[in-house]
Amino acid sequence: MEYRTLGGTGTIVSSLCLGTMTFGNESSEEVSHAQLDRFLEQGGTFIDTANVYSRGVSEEIIGRWLANRPDVRDQVVLATKGRFAMGDGHNDVGLSRTNLTKALDASLKRLQVDTVDLYQAHAWDALTPLEETLRFFDDAVRAGKIRYAGVSNFLGWQLQKAAMLTGYLGLTPIVTLQPQYNLLVREIEFELVDVCENENIGILPWSPLAGGWLTGKYQRNQTPTGASRLGDDPQRGMEAYAPRNAQERTWQVIDAVGKIAESRGVSMRGAGRAGVDSGPAGRHLGDPRRSYDRAARRQPDGRRAASFRRRNETAGRRERTDRWRLPVRATGSAAARFRSRTLTAKSSGAMPELFTQLPRYDVVRVQQRLRHLVAGRVGGRQPQRHRQARPLVDDQAEPLPVRQRGKRDRAPGFPTVVRNRCGDSGDRRTAGAGHLVCPQLERAPPPGAVTV
């Protein structure tokens, strides 16, 4: 088992997180406890649940498991979520302070703990001001009910807004994002990965095997049956059978994963998980260098400790420099940047060929946006350097009279500037340095004015 930091925090978690959405539904309490015990034996320390999973039964199962093992609570990092309806009232849903207060208290009671390590907004709420949600997270941290705050299923601009608001208001930062990511759903590569990299936010991909699609157990044009997620409900959520079965790309990806798994001598499940490890999300759960640095300081070799320390200082300077940059960096194409990340991913199960043989998304739109960012054409405005040059005329002309300005002006005797119609006011020049003439100026300037 590998270990990493939880986003930009100092908390160490296992690189694999046990999702518990099936607890209380497909998995009975006995089976769920056996899965938790097995996960702990293999070195796992990260458990994720939500209040809406089986209408709270999942949290209750985990709570009884923790109560029967008092020494386990300090070994695991426990995460849960709140946002979706747990009642019929108008305020029993959403990210408002009213609902989140009740949801968090109820989750703590079901889990039989005093503090949750990571509390996440399960999805975006358009009706609640984002600042209200972020202030609730900050108050919950100060009250000792949660240690860190995270979000799930946010879009790029939503995550960027949350990160910038927490920095501007001095609130508890967002440390993790939990999006859907697998070899069938890769939209986060366009913007969300760049936001997480700039804001030092860890990525916790959910559904890494696409709800069982990447295991090879589903067949084309054959509705699933039996004891499985889609066997119980073929139209279940975002993993429903009919929409994905209708896409040719789905079966192209599944066929490619099957061929690669066969050539490597591994299962399709292992190849599908390696696709997530090899992608950009595999590098942004946290910073493995920080945990390695702690071990390096304990080594007697001072040179190695100094090397890690210098590397950390360089990363810190880069982080401070990039903090307020655009969420999408205008350097190179998205495809080239993603290929470099894939080939340099340090993971024992990484398979770079997954991304060279799988059908890619069309990145033309992303490349066009990057070119516009480079050219400065944001919002349809052209940058300063693309405007028509304003030539100087008659530099040797005698100085023009200067009209005195009012007491509210910056300085007496500063020349009056007239804005013309071929651009902005441009450089303000004194009367003795010549004057600028615009052929499109329709109105004569006032006496004593310098025309630019």
Active-site residue list: 53
Helix (H) or strand (E) holding 120: strand 116-121
Helix (H) or strand (E) holding 367: helix 364-375
Query: Could you count the other beta carbons within 10 Å of the beta carbon of residue 305?
Result: 16
Rounded to 5 degrees, what are φ and ψ at 248? -65, -30
Q: Which two tokens mark 238? A: 């975002």
Rounded to 5 degrees, what are φ and ψ at 187? -65, -25
Distance CA 286, CA 3 (A): 9
Cα 321 vs. chain centroid, distance in angstroms?
Answer: 18
Beta strand pairing call for 46-48 and 17-19: parallel
DSSP structure class, residue 43: T
Burial of 423 (0-12, 13-18, 19+ CB in 10 A): middle
Distance CA 423, CA 318 (A): 37
Distance CA 80, CA 118 (A): 7
Distance CA 78, CA 333 (A): 38
97-111 and 130-142 helices cross at what angle (nearest 10)?
40
- Whole-Å CA distances, 151 to 166, 169, 175, 355, 434: 13, 18, 8, 27, 59
Distance CA 422, CA 437 (A): 10
Q: DSSP alpha helices (H): ranges in 285-363?
A: 288-297, 302-322, 334-344, 353-357
